[in-house]
Chains A and B, each alone.
Chain A
């Protein structure tokens, strides 16, 4: 079974530029998550989709971050304009059923963003 795919793996941009990350979850997984992992910290949930609807975006900086999951499959996370503090690894994860106790999330390899 193919895992969660993400691209690009690395991206370097200047502040105030825009950037987009792509994620393709495991086939059949209805739930998709985007996390931000700043160096030395644990991942922090930015947004969660159930199919193509948003379940939780309470920690998404909506003035500069946006995400969509058209057709309930792959997803794109965008930052516009980027700030220095956005430098982090952006992780995508998916799961079969978000409402089950102890449900496992499967993570992609991440995209390392450096903002200069």
Chain B
């Protein structure tokens, strides 16, 4: 079955530091890959996505590249801000009859000023 493994948190960084959150997946076929973010007190929202190998998703300074050869979709940002503090979820959707999302466990990021 499908599964997503992302790095354990929590991750604590200083403002302007470089961020990487690792994500690897197991799936049948050719999944679409997503990063969702959950800010404190809010619902999940889509951060970025990639639908085929070598695609790069980007949004708000965050980037992730779909690497089929390593089954990975690592999230990166060159310079984090305090406002980026949130829980980040890697997820995949592998089609079939319902394209349901399979999520990783989430990584809590705290950025200190």
A-side interface residues toward B, CB under 8 Å?
Answer: 3-4, 33, 40-45, 48, 50, 55-56, 91, 93, 98-110
Indicate if the CB atoms of B49 and A105 lie closer than 8 Å. Answer: no
Instruction: Indicate with 1 or 0, residue by residue over B74-113, a CB within 8 angstroms of chain A CB atoms.
Output: 0000000000000001010101011111011110000000
* B:22-81 near A, CB below 8 Å: 32, 34, 36, 41-46, 49-51
| Dominant secondary structure of chain A at its interface with chain B | loop
Contact partners of A55 in chain B: CB under 8 A: 97-98
Most buried by A among B41, B50, B99: B99
Q: How far is the CA of A51 from the CA of B103 in the complex (A)?
A: 24
> A91-B44, A102-B49, A104-B46 in contact; A42/B104 too (CB < 8 A)?
yes
Indicate if the CB atoms of B43 and A108 lie closer than 8 Å. Answer: yes
Indicate if the CB atoms of A43 and B100 lie closer than 8 Å. Answer: no
Q: How far is the CA of A43 from the CA of B91 in the complex (A)?
A: 10
* CB closest residue in chain A, given B44: A107
Indicate if the CB atoms of A56 and B51 lie closer than 8 Å. Answer: no
A100 to chain B, nearest CB (A): 8
> A42-B103, A56-B98 in contact; A101/B51 too (CB < 8 A)?
yes
